[in-house]
Amino acid sequence: MATFVDRVQLQVVGGSGGHGAASIRREKFKPLAGPDGADGGRGGDVILEVDASTTTLLQYHHRPHQSATGGGFGKGDLRHGASGEDLVLAVPDGTVVTAEDGTVLADMIGIGTRFVAARGGSGGLGNAALASRQRKAPGFALLGEPGQERTLVLELKSVADVALVGYPSAGKSSLIAAMSAARPKIADYPFTTLVPNLGVVEAGEHRFTIADVPGLIPGASQGKGLGLDFLRHIERCHVLVHVLDTASLESDRDPLSDLTTIEHELATYAASLDEETDGRVPLMQRPTVVVLNKTDLPDGEDMADIVRDQLAERDVPVLDVSAVSHKGLRELSFTLGELVEQARAALPAPEPAPIVLTPRAVDGGASRVVTEQYDGHTAFRVQGDKPERWVRQTDFTNDEAVGFLADRLAKLGVEDQLYAAGAVPGSTVLIGPGDDAVVFDWEPTMVGGAEMLGRRGTDDRFEDRSRPTREMKKEQQRARTAERMGRISAMEAERRAGHWADPSSEEGTR
């Protein structure tokens, strides 16, 4: 069973807004005292927050669907619906949030950092808020908007000061266990470490975190082994520590070739990083320490003596250590502590995050009409934030609410845009994105206003009050004349056939 997860796909849904209420106040001696329907509550947001006690994304691996609570419905007597509660999801420090297309939405560093992953929907207006001089007692209210739905990818990049890198079984886990209180799994076979391990090291006045990255092998930067999955955990470290196995049992390996291979994989991976945008030193230019591990063994000590001079030519600290006997660990701790302090001092001074004001776009509420094929015919789709939001808020079971929508669209200029696009009465019009659009037959005579209102909840424009034209009246008259002449002809034929007698004849007088 997995205990550490550093990449998950999370589906978040904001809470839906509550519906507004359509209510009329009734008091003694005032049977119709005006509308008193209140607004619905706003839906809750889904928020990601960096939490110090969270170190893995495991909980979202098991529960990839997260949604906030919706807002309450509005009620009569101006009782507004309660707002939905925000859902705060704890994530580890160093979590990167990206969209499905790979766009980085947030790089969450620092305890308490927040990111709104999905916003809740707005509550619908009650009929008290919709009342006007023309529409004094609306018989409808607006519906609450659904919450935002998003699919996000959360990727954890460990925030550590020092990263231990090297071949599998080089002794990295033993080293971090000896230097800190971390207790990673240790065994005598490759790839014992399957997940990064973090430990805190104290050396005098120095205090820093150290990460044990799973073993790297040739081709790790292209996906071989476990390297590609965990190389991202060293992106934010200040110091790199190459742990070299001086007592390897493999005859084709030696510390120098191991170091060359690991540096090549790191350089290949670093080439794909955009390190200039975040102010950090490029990965291959960061302070480096070479650790010759397992020098407590005779073979390890002999190998260290052979390669020490060649490694010293790289102008980097070279230390002999042993995780078993703790040889050289104190010197290593102080060396790393000094390098970390120097790297921290070289970082630019943190600046407070500026307050970003995002004004509404000048044409943010504009609409436009595009033509497309729908059900084998040419249709006209109305696009725009306002029309789509108004459609979501409309109760299509209420004629007055539909008439209110028609008035809003007409004031926005949608009627003129449909005329300009070539729409004619009876054309198919769609409002809304994709298959969720509302489809109706356009009738340009649906313009008007509150003067067309009838009883509450109705709209006279939806009743068929069309007057027949002169040609229609003539056609109806011709149809009635033809029907009457047909009846007379049928009666004459029956008389001649003797089905009924003529009263004026002799047989009729007998």
Q: So what's the pLDDT on residue 47?
A: 94
Is 197 within any annotated ligand binding site?
Answer: no
The annotation status of 95 as a binding-site residue, yes or no, is no
Mean pLDDT for all residues in the chain: 80
Q: d(Cα 337, Cα 205) in Å, to the nearest integer?
A: 9
Q: Is 295 annotated as a binding residue?
A: yes
C-alpha closest to that of 57 among 150, 151, 158: 158
A 10 A CB-CB count for 190 gives 13
Residue 214 counted as an annotated binding residue: yes
β-sheet with 87-91: strand ranges across = 87-91, 46-50, 114-118
Which of 49-58, 143-152, 227-236, 494-503 is the least confident region?
227-236
Residue 194 labelled as part of a binding site? yes
Which of 156, 171, 196 finishes a domain? 156
Residues 436 and 319 placed together within one structural domain of the fold: no
| Gyration radius from the chain CA atoms | 39
Q: CA 293, CA 473: separation in Å to the nearest integer?
A: 106
Q: How far is CA 320 from CA 169, 178, 233, 287, 460, in A?
A: 17, 15, 25, 18, 92
Q: Residue 115 CA to chain centroid, in angstroms? A: 11
Task: Return the CATH number at 183.
Answer: 3.40.50.300
279 is an annotated ligand-binding site residue: no
- Please give the average per-residue pLDDT across 84-101, as a whole number: 90
- The pLDDT of 243-267, averaged and rounded, is 80
The answer to whether 192 is annotated as binding is: yes
More confident residue, 169 or 506: 169
For residue 69, the model assigns a pLDDT of 95
Look at residue 316 in the predicted model and tell me its pLDDT: 86
Amino acid at 269: Y
| Confidence (pLDDT) at 191 | 45
CB 318 within 8 A of CB 266: no
User: How many Å apart are CA 40 and CA 84, to the nearest integer?
Assistant: 10
Six-digit token string for 194: 């399957």
Q: Does pLDDT of 447 surpass 60?
A: no
How many whole angstroms separate alpha carbon 365 and alpha carbon 411? 12
Q: 108, exposed or middle or buried, with CB in 10 Å at 0-12, 13-18, 19+?
A: buried
Of 103, 136, 156, at which residue does a domain stop? 156
- Is there a binding annotation on residue 166? yes
Do 150 and 1 lie in a common domain? yes
Q: At 233, is the pLDDT very low, low, confident or very high (cuts 50, 70, 90)?
A: low
Residue 184, pLDDT score: 56
Confidence of residue 220 (pLDDT cuts 50, 70, 90): very low
Judge whether 397 is annotated as a binding position.
no
Q: Is there a contact between 265 and 258 (Cβ–Cβ < 8 Å)?
A: no
What is the predicted pLDDT for the residue at 85?
Answer: 94
Question: Quick one: pLDDT at residue 192?
Answer: 45
Max mean pLDDT range (158-162, 246-250, 264-268, 416-420): 416-420
**Same domain flag for 21 and 140:** yes
The DSSP secondary structure of 269-282, one letter per residue, reads HHTT---TTTTPPP
Q: Strand pairing of 239-245 and 197-203?
A: unpaired
User: Known binder of ligand: residue 502?
Assistant: no
Tokens 């309660």 -> residue: 82
**pLDDT confidence of residue 378:** 87
Same-domain check for residues 198 and 53:
no
In one-letter notation, the amino acid at residue 218 is: P
Query: What pLDDT, on a 0 to 100 scale, did the predictor assign at position 226?
Result: 46
With respect to residue 351, please indicate whether it lies within any of the assigned structural domains. Answer: no
**Structure tokens of 292?**
């010759």
Same domain, 262 and 125: no
Q: Is 188 contained in some domain?
A: yes
Mean pLDDT of 56-67: 88
When mean pLDDT is compared over 60-74, 223-237, 349-363, 388-402, the highest value belongs to 60-74
- DSSP-assigned beta bridge partners for residue 79: 75
> Of residues 31 and 446, which shows the higher confidence score?
31
Range of the domain at 502: 470-509
Instruction: Considering only residues 110 and 486, tell me which one the structure prediction assigns the higher pLDDT.
Output: 486
pLDDT score, position 500: 62
Q: Read off the amino acid at residue 256.
A: L
Residue 382 confidence (pLDDT) above 50? yes
Region 85-110: what's the mean pLDDT?
88
Query: Is 322 part of any known ligand binding site?
Result: yes
Q: Does the annotation place 221 within a ligand binding site?
A: no
- Select from 296, 329, 289 the least CA-distant residue to 180: 329
pLDDT, tens digit, 9 for 90 and up, residues 125-172: 999 999 888 888 888 999 999 999 999 999 877 667 888 888 877 777
**356 inside domain:** no
Q: How far apart are CA 107 and CA 155, in angstroms?
A: 10
Q: What per-residue confidence (pLDDT) applies to 437?
A: 85
pLDDT band at residue 68, thresholds of 50, 70 and 90? very high
Residues 339 and 446 in one domain: no
- Cα–Cα distance for residue pair 317/477, rounded to 1 Å: 110
pLDDT above 70 (res 463): no
The predicted structure's pLDDT at residue 297:
84
Residue 146 forms part of a structural domain:
yes
Q: Lowest mean pLDDT: which of 219-223, 236-240, 417-421?
A: 219-223
Instruction: Establish whether 394 is an annotated binding residue.
Output: no
Judgement on whether residues 66 and 167 belong to the same structural domain of the protein: no
Spatial separation of the C-alpha atoms in residues 203 and 337, rounded to whole Å = 7
Q: Mean per-residue pLDDT for 220-247?
A: 67
Which of 36-40, 109-113, 238-242, 296-300 ranks highest by mean pLDDT?
36-40
pLDDT level of residue 19 (50, 70, 90 thresholds) = very high
Confidence tier at 444 by pLDDT (50, 70, 90): confident
Same domain, 257 and 292: yes
Contacts of 264 (CB under 8 A, 6+ apart): none
463 Rama class: left (phi>0) / alpha (psi -120 to 50) / beta = beta
Residue 324, annotated as binding a ligand:
yes
Does residue 20 contact residue 401 with C-beta atoms inside 8 Å? no
Share of residues in the chain with pLDDT > 70 (%): 78
- Judged by DSSP in three states, 48 sits in strand
215 is in an annotated binding site: yes
* Ligand-binding site membership of 296 (annotated): yes
Q: What is the CATH number of the domain that holds 118?
A: 2.70.210.12
Rounded Cα distance between 347 and 281, Å, is: 9
Look up residue 374 and give its two tokens. Answer: 């729908």
Annotated ligand binding at 391? The verdict is: no
Is 293 annotated as a binding-site member?
Answer: yes
Does residue 464 have a pLDDT over 80?
A: no
289 and 180 inside one domain: yes
Domain boundary among 156, 188, 215: 156
Identity of the residue numbered 203 = A
Report the sign of the C-alpha dihedral through residues 324, 325, 328, 331, in that order: positive
Same-domain status, 414 and 455: yes
169 labeled binding residue: yes
Alpha-carbon gap, residue 261 to 242, rounded angstroms? 11
Q: Is 489 annotated as a binding residue?
A: no
Report how many domains make up the chain: 4
Whole-number Å distance between alpha carbons of 372 and 433: 13
- Assess if residue 352 is contained within a domain: no
Q: Does residue 483 sit within a domain?
A: yes
| % of the chain at pLDDT higher than 90 | 18
The per-residue pLDDT for 510 is 46
CA distance 301 to 293: 9
Q: How far apart are the first and last CA of the chain?
A: 113
Residue 3 marked in a binding site: no
pLDDT at 3 over 80: no
268 found inside a domain: yes
The edge-to-edge listing of strands for the beta sheet with 7-13 is 65-67, 7-13, 149-156, 95-99, 104-108
The helix/strand/coil state of 500 is coil
Based on the fold, state whether residues 97 and 183 are members of the same structural domain: no
What pLDDT, on the 0 to 100 scale, is given for residue 215? 57
Residues in the chain: 510
**Phi-psi sector, 214: left (phi>0), alpha (psi -120 to 50), beta:** beta
Q: For residue 246, which amino acid is it?
A: T
189 has a pLDDT exceeding 50: no
pLDDT score of 129: 92
- Specify if 359 maps to a domain: no
- 177 and 307 housed in the same domain: yes
Q: Is 230 annotated as a binding-site member?
A: no
